[in-house]
Amino acid sequence: MPSLLTLPSELLEAVIQNLGRKNIKRLRLVCKRLSRVAEPFLFETIHFNLHGDGVNNLLAVAAHDKLRHHVRTLVLKRDEVNILNRPAVFRRLLSHDNTAVEFEIWRDALRYAIDERPPSDDDRSSIASDVEDDWGSHPGEDEIKDRWTSYELAMEGMHDATRELTNCIRFRDPDNPATRPRVHPHARRSDDGMTQDRLDRFDDAIARLPRLRTFLHEPLFTAANGWRTTWQGQRFSYKILIEGGAYQRRSEEGVGQVWRSGRPTIAETEDNLEALHLSLTLRALGLRAAAASSTSAGDSITVPIQHLRIDVRNIGFWSKTNFACLWDWGRVREQMYLLGHEDPSHGYPHTWTRWMGGPEDEEAAKQKEHFGKELKTIGRAFSELRELEMNVRSLREAAVVAKGACRFLLRCGRLERLRLVFAEEVYRCRLNDWIARRVFDKVAQAPGCWPKLRRLELVGFVAPVQSLLEMLKAQEPTLRHLVLADCRLKPNGGCWEDVFKGLATHLRLEVVHFSMLEEGTEWTVIMDSSDLAWTACHDGKTSYALHETAVYDYVLRRSATLPPLDPKTFLEHQQT
C-alpha cells in the first residue's frame, strides 16, 4: 500500500478531517490500514466540475488501478466560489448596447426595492426612507461603481470560461479513435496546452470508470449558499431576482424623466456555462458507452449508466447550441453549431463554407461524416437507463424545451422509474400547458416506448385531462405506481373526478399518491393531504382531503361497492 503522502487528495483530506489533533501524529502508523478500509467508501461517489482542477482530480482517480473500480456515482456540482454564483438574469444585464442605460438600471435596482410597480416621483422619497430603515444608508456612487466593475469582470470571466471549453471541443472518429479533430477548425488557440486538451482528458477519465452507473446533476443555484443569497447583499429586490425585470429611465420631450417597465433582451443562452458543462458531461458519458468494448477503455466489461438525474432550468440546455444537437440525427449539417460557435439563424451555407473551406472539400465532408457518427454514438449512454429524474423548469421558449424533452424521453426505452418535474410551485401560475401537454401527447403517440416502466411521478404540470389520461393509458401494461403532486388541470379541460375515473377504469395500479391537486380558473385545491381541516371548497367543489383513503381505494379498485366520485354523492356515502 502507498504511504500517506502518495494517497489521492480526496482520501487524504477525508482522513485528516476524521481524526483529532492527537491522532494526527499517529497517521504514519495507521495509514496503510486506513487506506485499505476507506478506499471503497470514499470513492463510491465523486463530485466534480469542469472548472479549474476539477478535470485533473477526476482523472487522477480514474487513472488509479484500484480506486477507479470503486466509483459508482458522479455528481456534477459547480463551485460556489466561481463566477457562476450570479443568477442568469444578471449575466445578461449587459445585453443592451447602451452601457450608460445599463448602469442606470444597476444603480436604481440597488437603491430602490421595487415590488409591484416602479417608484414614481411622488413616492420615491418614501421608498428611500423605507429602504434606509431596512438596509441602512444607500451606497454611494463610488461603491456602486465598484460593484458594477466587479460585475463586469465576472461576466468577462464567464465568457472566457465558455470560450475555453468551446474552443477545445473535438470529435472522435469511431473508426479511428486516435483522430480527434477540432469541432471548430478555426478556434482560437490558447497558450496553455493543458487547457486545450481539457475535454480530451475529461472524456478519457469518464471512459476509465468501469463500474460507473449513476450520474447526478446538482446545479449551483440549488445550493444553500448559491445565487439566491449571493446578491442579497447587493440590495436587489426579490421581484427582480425572480422575474428578471428592471425598470429603465428614459426622457421624453415635455414629460421629463419617466419610469417604464422594461426587461433585458433574453437572447438564446449560448453563453450559459451551466448548461454547457451539463451538455459536455452527457457527451462524455455517451463516448464512454461507445468505447465500452474498446481496449482503450482498459476494461472488457463496462457497466452502462442506469440512473440519471438532470436539472434543466432554462432554454440554454435544450437549444441547438447545447444538448438538443446531440439527439437530432437528421440534421447533421446543423450539428456543426455544437455548443455555441455560431448562430444557426445566420444560415447553413454561409457558415458551413466559412468553417469547412467549401462544400466540395473532401476533408470537410470526411470530418462531417465522422462528426455525425460520433453524435449517434452518444445515445448509447442512455439506452440502458433504469431510473430517470428530469426537472424541466423554464418559463420561456416552451416549444424548444418541449421538443428537446420529448426527444430525450423517447430515446430512454428501458426505464423502470421516471420522475418528471415541469415547474416550480412559485412559477406555476404563470405557465401555460404547452410543455406538459406536448410531452404527454408525444408519449401517448408512441405506445410501448417504455415497456418496463413501473413507477411514474409527475410533478408541477399544467395539462388537460385528455392529454394526461392518454399518456397514462399508454403505460397500462406495466405501470403499477403513480404519484401526482402539485398538479393543475387546465381550466375548462376537465376535472379530477374524470382523472380518478379514468385511472380506475383503464389502469391496474397497485400504489398511488396524490398531493396538491388543483383545478378551475381559481386553481381550487380539491385534494391536499397536508391540510386535513378542509371539508369543502368554494365554487361548489368537493375537497377529498379528509377522504384520501377512499379516493385511493376507488382508483385502485379495492372495493366494488364504492360509488363514482361524484361530488353530490361521494361525501354522503362516506358519512354513512
Q: Where are the domains of the chain?
A: 1-42, 88-197+226-262
Of the candidates 429, 378, 345, 321, the one whose C-alpha atom is nearest the C-alpha of residue 174 is: 378
Q: Kindly tell me the burial class for residue 475, based on how many C-beta atoms sit within 10 Å of its own C-beta (0-12, 13-18, 19 or more).
A: buried
Q: What is the pLDDT of residue 97?
A: 34
pLDDT band at 457 (very low <50, low <70, confident <90, very high): very high
Highest-pLDDT range among 164-168, 288-292, 466-470, 518-522: 466-470
Judge whether residue 425 has pLDDT over 80.
no
Helix, strand, coil distribution of the chain in percent, nearest 5? 45, 15, 40
Say how far apart CA 248 and CA 377 lie, in whole Å: 48
Residue of 91 and 445 predicted with greater confidence? 445
More confidently predicted of 329 and 25: 25
Compute the distance between CA of residue 438 and CA of residue 402 in angstroms, rounded to an integer: 6
Q: Residue 190's pLDDT is what?
A: 44
What pLDDT band is residue 49 in, cutting at 50, 70 and 90? Answer: confident
* Contact by Cβ (8 Å): 357, 388: no
Average pLDDT score over residue span 408-429: 76
Give the lowest-confidence range in 7-16, 226-235, 511-520: 226-235
Highest-scoring range by mean pLDDT, 55-59, 224-228, 243-247, 330-334: 55-59
First to last CA, the chain: 74
The tens digit of pLDDT for each residue in 512-526 reads 998 888 776 555 666
Check residue 368 and give its pLDDT. 59
Percent of the chain with pLDDT over 90: 11
- Work out the pLDDT band at 173, boundaries 50, 70, 90: low
Q: What is the widest separation between alpha-carbon atoms in the chain? A: 84
> pLDDT at residue 74 above 80?
yes
Helix axis angle, 348-356 relative to 362-378, nearest 10°?
A: 110
**What DSSP character marks residue 419?**
E
Average pLDDT over residues 296-308: 70
Count helices and strands in the chain by DSSP H and E runs: 22, 13
If pLDDT is split at 50, 70 and 90, which confidence band does 81 have? very low
Segment 471-506, tens digit of pLDDT: 999 999 999 999 998 888 887 777 888 888 899 889
Range of 17-26, 117-126, 527-536 with top mean pLDDT? 17-26
